[in-house]
């Protein structure tokens, strides 16, 4: 918190750190004061004021201003504060603020920085903005190297700042080296150990290093069970590995095994957020590239293919229903159960696929565990379907006491069995499809969207009419 509540009450331009998504009334005075200073063009006074604020508080201020005012204030900020502020903004806010003039400003800033510092800053930007900035820095080879790695890979997000020492280095020398590197590397959790050729051979946690005898060589107490990833490892796989092995940082090595970077805790958190957002969009039938500030054209391009895919599925389901026109004409009551069947099929499929996708994403679903998991899904689906079918059958029998129904016993039997079969089959499809997609290299989250819903709708109505024809109309 940059200022306490007591200070905020005395100074109308003070800011109190706000909890996530929870604006504080105590900051309204500061917000009004800043808006007035922007409106009246008091750039110097406002910049001097915000220099005393923490970048996180400046970020919160920006997100509470109107977009036009936020852009103007951001352009007023000098290089150092603005770089820190941009790192704190969520991707959607960052992309909104990034205009042509601002990109030119950042290009000049990055060109004057040490390549390692510039790369670290670039890692804080959304990928599309980082790519744009890299394209404007063609003469900076080290920075441009970042652009040579594919999107969503370890090479793209890794930090080049780390502490790497030879095996012969003593604990005392390692601590001294860490102190010397303190200004360059703000947070060190792990010291990497390399051989004479610079290849990663071990790691030492900082706590263990501080407790070791000063004259003990790193090779005598380092952890030789080294887990590292290559530059082309997908960032989702990096996150899965870090969670599985409880790693705070993940080393990145070249094809020859040389240590070239690390995935920091901050980057792991960002990867987790990015992957969760991407899965959420895919599960909703929206392109993973969708943003809240997209143009109308981008919105149409991102959503229309999924809507059309859903239209195809719905059309197939309608065709199935139409093919049983004679049965519906003979017993119109069957039409009342079509929404029930489709709803149960969709819900059962979505539930099973959501659990499967979560298991794949977190690494909890192992290859040797797949058969057991599918068996559990089958048994659970049978129980759920039997219970739901029994309830529906009972409701049909109760309804027959109130309204006249032809042959209610067979109608209850047909609807109960159809619900049992639909729920079971939909759950198995929902649990299996994400695993198959993952095996062939397709994001399993795509299965939860239109594909599962549409396929289960078709299967649902088909099974319902087969059961109705067999047990009710037969």
Q: What pLDDT shows up at residue 417?
A: 92
pTM: 0.54
Cβ-contact 204, 190 below 8 angstroms: yes
Q: Which residue has the tokens 């094809």?
A: 255
Task: Retrieve residue 81's tokens.
Answer: 């504060």
What does DSSP say about strands 200-205 and 229-230: parallel, antiparallel, or unpaired?
unpaired
Residue 333, CB-side half-sphere exposure with 13 Å CA sphere = 19
Q: What pLDDT shows up at residue 3?
A: 44
- Where does residue 186 rank: exposed (0-12), middle (13-18), buried (19+ CB within 10 A)? exposed
Q: Which residues, in sequence order, are CB contacts of 211 under 8 Å at separation 6+?
A: none
Distance of CA 86 to the CA centre of its chain: 20
Task: Retrieve residue 51's tokens.
Answer: 């220099």
Find the radius of gyration of the CA atoms of the chain. 30
Q: Which residues, in sequence order, are CB contacts of 448 under 8 Å at separation 6+?
A: 282, 283, 350, 353, 354, 357, 430, 434
Overall CATH class of domain 164-266:
alpha beta
Cβ-contact 422, 472 below 8 angstroms: no
Cβ-contact 201, 119 below 8 angstroms: no
One DSSP character per residue, 42-91 reads -HHHHHHHHTTS-HHHHHHHHHHS-HHHHHHHHHHS-HHHHHHHHHHS-H
CATH 1.25.60 residue spans of the chain: 5-148
Measured CA to CA, the distance from residue 110 to residue 95 in angstroms comes to 18
- DSSP SS3 for 324: coil
Architecture of domain 5-148: Alpha Horseshoe (1.25)
- DSSP SS3 for 423: helix
Overall CATH class of domain 296-471:
mainly alpha
Measured CA to CA, the distance from residue 235 to residue 123 in angstroms comes to 13
Residue 472, CB-side half-sphere exposure with 13 Å CA sphere = 28
Q: What pLDDT shows up at residue 54?
A: 74
What residues of the chain score a pLDDT lower than 50? 1-10
Task: Retrieve residue 405's tokens.
Answer: 């129904």
CATH 3.10.580.10 residue spans of the chain: 164-266
Task: Retrieve residue 169's tokens.
Answer: 């280095």
Q: Look up residue 153 and give its DSSP letter.
A: B
Residue 16, CB-side half-sphere exposure with 13 Å CA sphere = 18
How many CB atoms are located within 10 Å of the residue 250 CB?
24
Q: What pLDDT shows up at residue 382?
A: 92
Tens digit of each residue's pLDDT (9 = 90 or more) over 355-391: 887 777 666 666 667 788 888 888 998 999 899 999 9
């Amino acid at each position: 918190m940059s200022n306490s509540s007591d200070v905020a009450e005395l100074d109308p331009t003070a800011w109190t750190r706000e909890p996530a998504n929870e604006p504080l009334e105590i900051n309204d005075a500061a917000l009004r004061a800043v808006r007035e200073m922007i409106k009246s063009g008091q750039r110097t006074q406002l910049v001097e004021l915000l220099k005393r604020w923490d970048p996180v508080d400046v970020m919160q201020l920006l997100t509470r201003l109107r977009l036009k005012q936020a852009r103007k204030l951001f352009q007023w900020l000098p290089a150092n504060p603005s770089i820190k502020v941009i790192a704190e903004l969520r991707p959607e806010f960052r992309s909104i603020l990034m205009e042509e003039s601002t990109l030119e400003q950042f290009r000049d800033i990055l060109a004057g920085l040490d390549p390692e510092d510039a790369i670290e800053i670039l890692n804080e930007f959304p990928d599309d903005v980082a790519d744009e900035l890299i394209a404007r820095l063609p003469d900076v080879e080290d920075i441009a190297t970042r652009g040579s790695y594919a999107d969503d890979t370890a090479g793209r997000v890794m930090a080049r700042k780390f502490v790497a020492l030879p095996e012969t280095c003593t604990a005392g020398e390692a601590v001294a080296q860490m102190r010397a590197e303190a200004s360059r590397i703000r947070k060190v959790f792990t010291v990497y150990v390399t051989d004479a050729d610079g290849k990663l051979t071990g790691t030492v946690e900082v706590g263990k290093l501080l407790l070791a005898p000063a004259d003990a060589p790193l090779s005598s107490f380092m952890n030789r069970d080294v887990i590292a990833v290559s530059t082309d490892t997908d960032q989702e796989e990096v996150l899965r590995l870090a969670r599985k092995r409880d790693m705070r940082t993940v080393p990145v090595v070249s094809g020859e095994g040389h240590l070239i970077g690390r995935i920091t805790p901050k980057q792991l958190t960002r990867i987790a957020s990015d992957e969760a957002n991407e899965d959420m969009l895919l599960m909703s039938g929206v392109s993973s590239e969708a943003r809240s500030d997209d143009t109308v054209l981008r919105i149409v391009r991102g959503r229309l293919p999924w809507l059309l895919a859903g239209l195809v599925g719905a059309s197939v389901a309608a065709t199935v229903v139409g093919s049983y026109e004679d049965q519906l004409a003979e017993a119109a009551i069957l039409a009342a159960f079509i929404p029930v069947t489709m709803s149960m099929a969709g819900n059962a499929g979505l539930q099973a696929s959501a659990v499967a996708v979560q298991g794949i994403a977190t690494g909890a679903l192992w290859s040797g565990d797949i058969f057991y998991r599918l068996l559990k899904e089958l048994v659970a689906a049978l129980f759920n379907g039997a219970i739901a079918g029994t309830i529906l059958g009972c409701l049909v029998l109760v309804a027959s006491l109130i309204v006249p129904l032809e042959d209610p016993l067979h109608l209850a039997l047909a609807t109960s069995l159809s619900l049992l079969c639909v729920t079971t089959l939909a759950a198995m499809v929902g649990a299996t499809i994400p695993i198959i997609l993952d095996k062939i290299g397709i994001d399993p989250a795509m299965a939860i969207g239109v594909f599962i819903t549409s396929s289960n709708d078709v299967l649902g109505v088909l099974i319902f009419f087969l059961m109705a024809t067999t047990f009710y109309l037969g």
